[in-house]
Amino acid sequence: MVKKKTGSKKKEGKKKIQAKKKVKAKKREETKFIGRTTKIRQSKPATVIEWPRSITHIHTYGMVSPFFEGLRKGEMRATLCPNRECRENRLWIPPRAHCPDCHTEMIWKPLPNPVIGKIYTFTEVVYAGTGIELSTPYWQVDVEIPGLATIPKSYLLYGKPYIGMKVKAEFRTKNPTNTVLDYYWVPYEG
Ligand SMILES: [Zn+2]
């Protein structure tokens, strides 16, 4: 009994201390500027400021998430329409959650490694738009992959492309970007 009483007294004591601290925290300090100052770009005929802004874009890959998981693991995963009556029985990359032809939910089919394709067309990117995270100039390549209904776009890591050139898919499994940039093509001899 004695111990219990002592215990309860101690608790009360702590509560009192906490309450005092709270009162202290409520004291308001002088308002401070916590932002970043801006640069003045020009002052005539009017003031123009340079004000860097950044946002965090939160985006779900939803039902096509397995595609990005595959890239992280060095695997190219395509989608396939399981509807036997559908006219499109080829694979899709980039993947589709639902069949564009009959709207049936797609199933996943990993492509056997190595993934070998042929350059269908290409273009040299010299001036990339804002947000492109590849150094310029780079070769953007459209690659035909056997069995696919699509001709996906990606980039050639090195070498000079030509139409019909054989290329092999490689994956950014170390330090992945978790975007479609996690696969790219390299020249393939064979
Ligand atoms: Zn279909």
What DSSP element (H or E) covers 68? helix 65-72
CA–CA distance, 11 with 127 (Å, rounded to integer): 68
Whole-number Å distance, alpha carbon 149 to ligand 1 midpoint, is 12
Whole-number Å distance, alpha carbon 106 to ligand 1 midpoint, is 8
CB 153, CB 169: distance < 8 Å: no
| pLDDT of res. 9 | 47
Whole-number Å distance, alpha carbon 18 to ligand 1 midpoint, is 65
| pLDDT of res. 6 | 43
Whole-number Å distance, alpha carbon 10 to ligand 1 midpoint, is 71
What is the residue-level pLDDT of the chain in tens, covering all 190 positions?
Answer: 444 444 444 445 555 555 555 566 678 889 998 888 999 999 999 999 999 888 899 999 999 999 999 999 999 999 999 999 999 999 999 999 999 999 999 999 999 999 999 999 999 999 988 788 999 999 999 999 999 999 999 999 999 999 999 999 999 999 999 999 999 999 999 8
Whole-number Å distance, alpha carbon 90 to ligand 1 midpoint, is 10
Query: CA 103 from chain center: how many Å?
Result: 26
Eight-state DSSP code of residue 180: G
| pLDDT of res. 45 | 97
pTM of the model: 0.73
Joined tokens for residue 181: 């940039």
| pLDDT of res. 132 | 87
Contacts 24+ apart (CB under 8 A), 22-27: none
| pLDDT of res. 80 | 98
